[in-house]
Amino acid sequence: MIGNLETAKIVNEYHFTRDSAGLEIEFLGEGCSRSAYLVGHVVYKVEIDDYGCNAMEAKNYNHLVGHIPDGWGIAKCNLFDVGEDYSPVLAMEYIDGRCGCDEDHWSFDECTETCKALGRCIQRLYDEVRVIGVTDIHPENYILEKTTRTRVLIDYPY
C-alpha cells in the first residue's frame, strides 16, 4: 500500500496549519487545485479547494492501470479519507527522475524539427497516451524515470 491514513491526516493538517507533528515534510509544489508534499518516498496531494481532483485521480488510476502503453508507467496511489471537513488526500508513489521530454523540452513550442523527426518531442508523447484517454499531458504530468527512462504518469486526468 502506498501511504497511510495517519500520515495523510498529518500532511493535510500541515497544509492548513504548518504543524508537522514532528514529521519531516517537504513541499514539492502547487498546481491549480492541489499542493504536493513528500514524506519519505510518498507524495501526498492535498486539495487547495474542494474540486474533487484527488477522488477523480484515484478513479482514473483504477481505469488506466491495465492500459498503459509500452514505454510508459503509472505511479501507484491510494486515496485516504481524512475527515468530513476535508477533501480526501491522495498518496502517490514517489518517482525519482525529472519532468520533460527526452530532449528536455517543456512545451510543444520548444520541440525542434530534429527532435520531432527522432520521435522525441512532446507531441509524440501526447499522441502515445491520448489513445488510452489521457488528454492533459504536459511535462509536469509525468516523470522521466532516472534509471529506466520510462515515462511515468504522476497526474492522470482524462
Q: Could you read off the pLDDT of 78-99 as tens digits, one per residue?
A: 999 999 888 999 999 999 988 7
Report the CATH number at residue 116.
3.30.200.20
Q: Which residue blocks in the chain are alpha helix, DSSP H?
A: 5-17, 53-64, 113-117, 122-130
Domain-embedded: residue 158: no
Q: Which triple of cell numbers denotes residue 21?
A: 507533528
DSSP state of 81: -
Say how many domains are in the chain. Answer: 1
Q: Give residue for cell 520541440.
A: 111
Single-letter residue type at 4:
N
Residue 33 binned pLDDT confidence (cut-offs 50, 70, 90): confident
Given strand 26-30, what is the order of strands in its sheet?
26-30, 34-39, 42-47, 89-93, 77-80
- Let me know if residue 24 belongs to a domain: yes
67 located within any domain:
yes
For 103, half-sphere exposure in the C-beta direction (CA atoms, 13 angstrom radius) is 20
Q: State which amino acid sits at residue 109.
A: D
Note whether residue 130 is domain-resident.
yes
Any residues with CB less than 8 A from the CB of 117 and at least 6 apart, and which?
none
User: Tens digit of pLDDT for each residue in 67-77?
Assistant: 998 888 999 99
Domain of residue 141: give its range.
5-153
Q: Which residue has the higher pLDDT, 87 or 149?
A: 87
Mean pLDDT rounded to a whole number for the chain: 85
Alpha-carbon dihedral 130, 136, 77, 45, rounded to 10 degrees = 180
pLDDT on residue 18: 93
The answer on pLDDT for 23 being more than 70 is yes
pLDDT at 109: 62
